[in-house]
Structure 1
């Protein structure tokens, strides 16, 4: 039996691009990835995903769609539920946890230091949304 997710992230898509953040803190410090973080007590994994985006970027995400759950870290320390959506409101206002952010297209990805297999995760996000990457 697979353990339940204990962290969540969200790939936010707009006009064929996906919002990436450069993390300021461990784990994955200085790597480009999706906004996200650890599950808190008494919240669902969807609530975690929505809260983390709000805290890190000031955006309100709606209707997150589950893409996959990844085991990350030593011995699967993190069981990350990855969501995607095109439904959000607000303007990006990065918190101190974020060094930088950008709306990335496929051509930009090769030039960035990203978390493992982020290109595959992004492709799955676009597939779930019925879009091509």
Structure 2
């Protein structure tokens, strides 16, 4: 892939569950997914995911581990870098961008309307975390 990532998201994992957010606005409005967002000028992709989680949820993420980069949107609008971390702290304080949030057991994922292939992405994230 020649295009560098211009957006990032992270699977936050605690006690075998993954934190999912329900997006309040487009893109992907009303769908469950990972917290994240667009890269800002001058930041690394790791700084982007740390900032986005702080802005959206009030959590401080440390040591995000890269999992994959996937193309999203028509014509490759976004090159999304997906990370995973179990190293985070703080109390969840959702911003207006978040309609809801839940700690979800991956086995319960079929009950949620998620972004495309989120189940596969979660499997890859958990595999990276397991080492």
Q: TM class by shorter-chain length?
A: over 0.9
Match of 1:74 in 2: 74
* Counterparts of 1:12 and 1:42, CA distance in 2: 25
Match of 2:126 in 1: 126
* Counterparts of 1:29 and 1:58, CA distance in 2: 20
CA displacement at 1:5 relative to structure 2: 0.2
Q: Secondary structure at the match of 2:111?
A: coil
Normalised by the size of structure 1, how large is the TM-score?
0.96
Match of 1:41 in 2: 41
Match of 1:6 in 2: 6
CA displacement at 1:106 relative to structure 2: 2.2
- Runs (4+) off by over 6 Å: none
* Counterparts of 1:128 and 1:38, CA distance in 2: 23
Normalised by the size of structure 2, how large is the TM-score?
0.98
Aligned residues: 131
* Counterparts of 1:86 and 1:51, CA distance in 2: 16
Aligned-pair Cα RMSD in Å: 0.9
Q: Secondary structure at the match of 1:76?
A: coil
CA displacement at 1:47 relative to structure 2: 0.2
Mind listing any 5+ residue stretches in structure 1 that lack a counterpart?
Answer: none
Match of 2:53 in 1: 53
Mind listing any 5+ residue stretches in structure 2 that lack a counterpart?
Answer: none
Q: Please tell me whether the aligned partners of residues 18 and 106 of structure 2 are also in contact (alpha carbons under 8 angstroms).
A: no
Match of 1:108 in 2: 108
* Counterparts of 2:69 and 2:122, CA distance in 1: 13
